[in-house]
Amino acid sequence: MPDLRRTRIKFCGLTRAEDLAQACALGVDAIGFVFAGRSKRRVSPQAAAALRHTLQPFVDTVALFMDNDADTVRDSIATVRPTWLQFHGGEEDAFCAGFGLPYLKAIAMGGNADIDAASLERDYPRAAGFLFDSNASGQAGGSGHTFDWSRVPSDCPRPYLLAGGLHPDNVFEAIRATGCWGVDVSSGIESAPGVKNHERMRRFVAEVRRADGIL
């Protein structure tokens, strides 16, 4: 039987309606709105809600936070109505799971600490999945730098997305090297922070599909 698996694609840091429309036209699985206070791609909940109304069917909305307080998370959820939450800071499992929505936990891979499946299961037992990013602990993502993909636990207990420094010229290699469930890209498809480059978006999707054997 042919292998029918496909790599999921999330475009993150969306700030403009034309970029969101292009993402939907390319068939991505999810788009991310950033509410982390230090991010150059941060949008207000009201702006994100307006963009969300233009989404095509079957495209998920992910709300990204980094050490935001609980009231900010709740207010953003009420306004934007995301499908998923994504946490990039020092949030503990009880906090992440306390908002009634499934969550992804970003794991900082930029330091020297060993990341193993047992610690992920212990620390985030209710996480629906993980996102391995290249930032160091305490730093924001979206740096455009990669990390050593061989450090991803081979027995990761949940589906995981690969992030950090991905772009059209290396995402094929990243997927083939890791067998990741999905890929998450922001700066690698941009002309400037929050401004997506439509040709780079198209090429990124094409390279993911080529890695999957679809193209």
Catalytic residues, by residue number, are 12, 133
Of 30, 24, 16, the closest CA to residue 192 belongs to 16
Beta strands in 35-121 (DSSP E): 60-65, 84-87, 103-108
Q: What HEC string does 104-128 produce?
A: EEEEECCCCCCCCHHHHHHHCCCCC
Q: Which of 36, 40, 41, 43 is nearest to 13 (CA)?
A: 41
Bridge partners (DSSP) of residue 133 are: 108
Token pair recorded at residue 93: 């499992």
**Alpha carbons 4 and 96: distance in angstroms, whole number:** 32
| Alpha carbon distance 115, 71 (integer Å) | 31
